[in-house]
Amino acid sequence: MPRGTAQALERLVAADPDARVRGAALGALARLPDPPAGSWMAAAGDPAPSVRRRAAELAPAFVAGGADVAEGVLGLLADGDPGVAEGAAWALGELGERAVPGGAVVRLAAVGRAHSDPLVREAAVAALGALGDPGGLETVLAACRDKPAIRRRAVLALAAFEGPEVDDALRAASEDRDWQTRQAAEDLLG
C-alpha cells in the first residue's frame, strides 16, 4: 500500500466524523505489514464504543507497531461498554505472553469472577485458558460453577492447567446438567 494511502487511513481513524469509517480505516491499517500503533492508540481512546471494540479486536495486529498495545488493551478491559470489555479480554488471550508482564492475568481473573456481563466473564475465562498462567486457575475453577456457556468455556480453559483440582473439576463437569459442558469434560478426561 502506498504511504500516501496509509496516511489517508490514519487521518480517517483520527478525525472522520463517522464512527463506521474510523473503524473501517483501522481495519485497513491492521492489514499493513507494519501498522502504525499511533492509530491504534487513537482508536482505543475513541468516543464511540464500536471503534474502541474494533481497536480491541485488532490489537494483536498492532503489537509490532511500537506502542504498548497490551497496556492499552488492559485499559479497554475496564471499559464501561461490555462489548469493548469482551473484545479486550479476547485480545489479551490472543496477545499471549506479551500481555502477562502488564498484569493481564490478575485483571482477567478479576473480570472473570465479577463482571456483571456474562459474555465478558466468558471471554475473560477463555483468555485465562489461552494464557495458561497458574495465576488464573482459581478463576477458571470458579467459572466451572457459573452459567452454562461460561461453564463450557471454563472446562475448555482447564486444558491449559494440570493438578488434582483440575482433575476434580473435570470429573464434576462430566456430570454437569448441560450436555455440552459434559461433552467437553469427557473429551478432556478421555
* SS3 sequence of the chain: CCHHHHHHHHHHHHHCCCHHHHHHHHHHHHCCCCCCHHHHHHHHCCCCHHHHHHHHHHHHHHHHHCCCHHHHHHHHHCCCCHHHHHHHHHHHHHHHHHCHHHCHHHHHHHHHHHCCCHHHHHHHHHHHHHHCCHHHHHHHHHHCCCCHHHHHHHHHHHHHCCCHHHHHHHHHHCCCCCHHHHHHHHHHHC
What is the tens place of the pLDDT at every residue in 11-38? 999 999 999 999 999 999 999 988 988 9
What is the tens place of the pLDDT at every residue in 94-106? 999 889 988 999 9
Q: How confident is the model at residue 148 (pLDDT cuts 50, 70, 90)?
A: very high
Are the C-beta atoms of residues 144 and 151 closer than 8 Å to each other?
A: yes
* Spatial distance between the Cα atoms of 13 and 8, rounded to a whole number of angstroms: 9
Residue corresponding to grid cell 456457556: 149
- Cell readout for 48 is 464511540
* Spatial distance between the Cα atoms of 159 and 185, rounded to a whole number of angstroms: 9
pLDDT higher than 80, residue 1: no
Mean pLDDT over each residue of the chain, to the nearest integer = 94
What is the tens place of the pLDDT at every residue in 36-75? 889 999 999 999 999 999 999 999 999 865 558 889 999 9
Which of 132, 70, 60, 76 lies closest to 101 in space, CA to CA?
Answer: 70
Q: List, in order of start, the domains of the chain with CATH numbers.
A: 1-67 (no CATH), 73-190 (1.25.10.10)
* Spatial distance between the Cα atoms of 162 and 5, rounded to a whole number of angstroms: 49
Which of 172, 175, 174, 139 lies closest to 157 in space, CA to CA?
Answer: 139
